[in-house]
Amino acid sequence: MVKDQTKLTFYGGVNEIGGNKILLQDRDTKVFLDFGMSFTFGAEYFTSWLQPRGIRGLGDYFEFNLLPKISGVYSKEMLAYTNLPYAKPDVDGVFLSHAHFDHIAHIQFLDPNIPIFMGTGTKLLMESMEETGNLADYGEHIWNKFRTGHKIKIGNLTVEPIAVDHSIPAAYGFIIHTSEGPVVYTGDLRRHGPRKDLTENFIEKAKAVEPIAMICEGTRMAEKETRQNYSEPQVQELSNQIVAHTDKAVFTMHANRDIDRFRSFYEVGKENNRKLVITPKKAHLLTKLIADEHLNVPDPLKDDNIVVYYKKKKSGTYNEKDYFLWERKFMDKMVNCEYIHKNQLKIIMDLDFFQFAELVDIKPDAGSHLIHSMSEPFSEEDIADTVMHNWLNHFKLQFHQVHASGHMSKEQLVETVKEIQPKRAFAVHTENQQLFKTYCSCMQIIEQGKTYAVV
Ligand SMILES: [Zn+2]
């Protein structure tokens, strides 16, 4: 490789879905594209009851080579118990595509002097995670917010963020203008969501710059798609059919930060004269997102179609002082287990897995419904799935699998690369690089930690 060539090093997201950490270097300018944690991160050495020790910073992580040992990236504090000496930041910025943890979680280890760039909505989503005590702590950083249309000049690079449609608000792809030509990074995206127009706009712009290289996600690149996948309007329609034809309670399970899914259930609720019952955490998130006028979410405090479910506290009561400060804000909209029991045909309730024990108090009528609106389990031996079904059987709830993926199908992935026509492509966030290459010959097979010239 010639010394001054623009190059890419993939420190994460290689042969796995998630954990993207991509270093782009253009002579003396270096930026990371995402700095996430993979879904299987540390699973060989750690489990729910054996975790890396927080006070040891990166010490326990480096022991098992769980994060790349690179100089000029991590904070002094995080390196204190490692054999990697601290060095001043050698990275000019980190660009976050969206707020899913497999794209952002490891920024907690970064030197606070490395500027972080992300969408306005992404910052709000991160704040909500931190404020509601979700064990999320992204650390202190220099935050820079962007929107579509911005052109961020950083050393030899100009970075153009462009909003795309994904299963979380404020997701972006990037066109990075390097000294050798434009490089496109998709982040995570889909072409069948409610804002597919955003993705189409991104693809059009990416194609127009005639990129020398493209880094493309490949989540659904697989020999055979075994799971049922709908579009978001189909999710709404199918859910509507379930709700319209029952006089029992309807519970839903879906990713808390998938606002498109929230909207689908919100609309189904309105159409069927049922109130949407959300958690205080979701109410907090919505309240946060109101600040981003582009997202147009309802205000849980003002909207009559929304109520907020509170769990009983230790005292067996609902004393304000027993709840976190952030939770108390929504108590005017409070409903409890007795309310849900009495109004089963008038509600659609968010019930994530961690809240299942509430069913004991709610005592839903036999034949009530659970709409499971998230990915099906990866394996048949999935313990959580077995436990969930045991609960459903116990309470005689009817199970419905109704989900729209956050990612494009295999056919659309291939189509997208062919439309954009990069000279060279790199597939991240996928378990099937080889298969992807059989459809797109411009694909360069990548290995973790290796450096590749962009052309
Ligand atoms: Zn994602």
Residue pair 33/8 in contact by the 8 Å Cβ criterion? no
Structure tokens, 254: 């879906």
What spacing in Å lies between the alpha carbon of 217 and ligand 1's midpoint? 10
Neighbours of 8 (CB within 10 A): 23
What spacing in Å lies between the alpha carbon of 167 and ligand 1's midpoint? 7
Q: How far apart are CA 37 and CA 23, in angstroms?
A: 15
pLDDT recorded at residue 378: 63
Neighbours of 47 (CB within 10 A): 9
CA atoms within 13 A on the CB side of 238: 20
What spacing in Å lies between the alpha carbon of 119 and ligand 1's midpoint? 14
Helices (H) and strands (E) in the chain, counts: 14, 21
What spacing in Å lies between the alpha carbon of 245 and ligand 1's midpoint? 34
- The yes-or-no answer to whether 7-223+406-453 and 232-401 have a common fold is no
Residue pair 439/414 in contact by the 8 Å Cβ criterion? yes
What spacing in Å lies between the alpha carbon of 103 and ligand 1's midpoint? 7
Structure tokens, 35: 């700095």
pLDDT recorded at residue 315: 77
CATH level 2 (architecture), domain 7-223+406-453: 4-Layer Sandwich (3.60)
CATH class of 232-401: alpha beta
What spacing in Å lies between the alpha carbon of 12 and ligand 1's midpoint? 14
Going from N- to C-terminal start, the domains of the chain cover 7-223+406-453, 232-401
Residues (pLDDT < 50) of the chain are none
What spacing in Å lies between the alpha carbon of 99 and ligand 1's midpoint? 7
pLDDT recorded at residue 317: 85
Structure tokens, 261: 């899914």
CA atoms within 13 A on the CB side of 243: 30
What spacing in Å lies between the alpha carbon of 427 and ligand 1's midpoint? 15
What spacing in Å lies between the alpha carbon of 184 and ligand 1's midpoint? 17
Q: Which residues pair with 10 in a beta bridge?
A: 22
Instruction: State whether the Cα torsion 452-415-32-151 is positive or negative.
Output: positive
Q: What is the pTM of this model?
A: 0.94
Q: How far apart are CA 288 and CA 388, in angstroms?
A: 31
